[in-house]
Amino acid sequence: MANTKIPHATAKRLPIYYRYLHFLSDAGKQRVSSTELADAVKVDSATIRRDFSYFGALGKRGYGYDVENLLAFFRKTLKQDKLTNVALIGVGNLGHALLNYNFHQSNNVRISAAFDINEDITGTIQSGVPVYHMNDMKEQLTVQQIEIVILTVPAPVAQEVTNELVEVGVKGILNFTPLRITVPNTVRVQNVDLTNELQTLIYFLDKFGSHNEND
Ligand code: ATP
C-alpha cells in the first residue's frame, strides 16, 4: 500500500478530508458515510469512495467509515503524527504574514526558522520565530533537520535563492513567488500564486457568474 501511486488530485484532497474528520472526531462522532462526507467537504461521494480506495478498503457497506480509524490513517499518511519544522525565506510583507499565521490550524507544522539578507531584521525574533541571515541557512537547516521551506523572496532573486536551497539539500519548496522556479527532479515544488488565484476568480466571476465550474 505504501507504494501505491496516488493521483495528484486525490493527494490534494487528503488535507480537506483530514480536517473534516478532525472536526467529526472532536464532536464525538464515531462514523460517517461517504454521502455525509461529500456534503461537508463538497466533493462528490463517488470521488470520495475512489480516493479512499487508493488506500485500501477503509469503509464498510451500510456502515460508512469509522471516524477514528480513518483519522488515524490520514494522520499517518499526511505525516501529521509528527511535528514538521519548516523554514521561511524572505521576511517581507507576505513572509511576515505567514510567520504571524504560523499554520495555527495544524499542531503539526510550524515555521521554526526564518531567513533574510536584510540586517535590520536578521538576529531578531518575529512572531516568535528567529530570523537568521542567509549566511547561516545551511547550518540552521542542518541542525534543525529542516527539509521544507516557504519561499517569499522577491521574484528577481527567487531562482538564485532556490539554487542555494537545492544546494543545501532542501526537498520541498512552497513557492509564493510568481516565478516558476527550476529545480532538479529530487526537489518538489508547490506553487501558490495569490495574485494569479485572485485574477482567476475575477475572470470566472466575470465570465460565468458565481456558479462553480464543477457544480
Ligand atoms: P512581499 O513581496 O512579501 O510583499 P516586500 O514587498 O515587503 O515583500 P520584497 O522586496 O518582496 O519585500 O522582499 C521580501 C523579503 O525578501 C525582504 O525582507 C527582503 O529583504 C528579502 N530578500 C531579498 N533578497 C533576498 C535574498 N537573496 N535572500 C533572502 N531574502 C531576501
Strand partners, 190: 174
Cα distance between residue 146 and residue 140, in whole Å: 8
- Name every residue whose Cβ is closer than 8 Å to that of residue 181 and which is 6 or more positions away in sequence: 151, 158, 159, 162, 173, 175, 189
The closest of 104, 57, 109, 58 to 82, measured between CA atoms, is: 109
Instruction: Report the alpha-carbon distance of residue 112 to residue 99 in Å, rounded.
Output: 9
Read off the CATH number of the domain in which 165 is found: 3.40.50.720
Using CA positions, which residue lies closest to atom 29 of ligand 1?
A: 116
Q: Do 191 and 94 share a structural domain?
A: yes
Q: Is 118 in the pocket of ligand 1 (CB under 6 A)?
A: yes
Q: Measured in Å, how far apart are the chain's first and last C-alpha atoms? A: 32
> Which residue from 88, 99, 120, 153 has its CB within 8 A of the most atoms of ligand 1, so it is best to mutate?
153
- Look at ligand 1, atom 7, and give the residue with the nearest C-alpha: 92
Model pLDDT for residues 25-83, shown as the tens digit of each residue: 888 888 888 888 899 999 998 899 888 888 775 666 677 888 988 888 888 888 777 88
Of 77, 107, 132, the residue at which a domain comes to its end is 77
pLDDT in tens, 75-97: 888 877 788 899 999 999 999 99
Residue 172 lies in a domain: yes
30 in a structural domain: yes
Q: Are residues 73 and 112 in the same domain?
A: no
98 lines ligand 1 (CB under 6 A): no
The answer on 141 and 110 residing in a single domain is yes
Q: Residue 16: which domain range?
A: 8-77
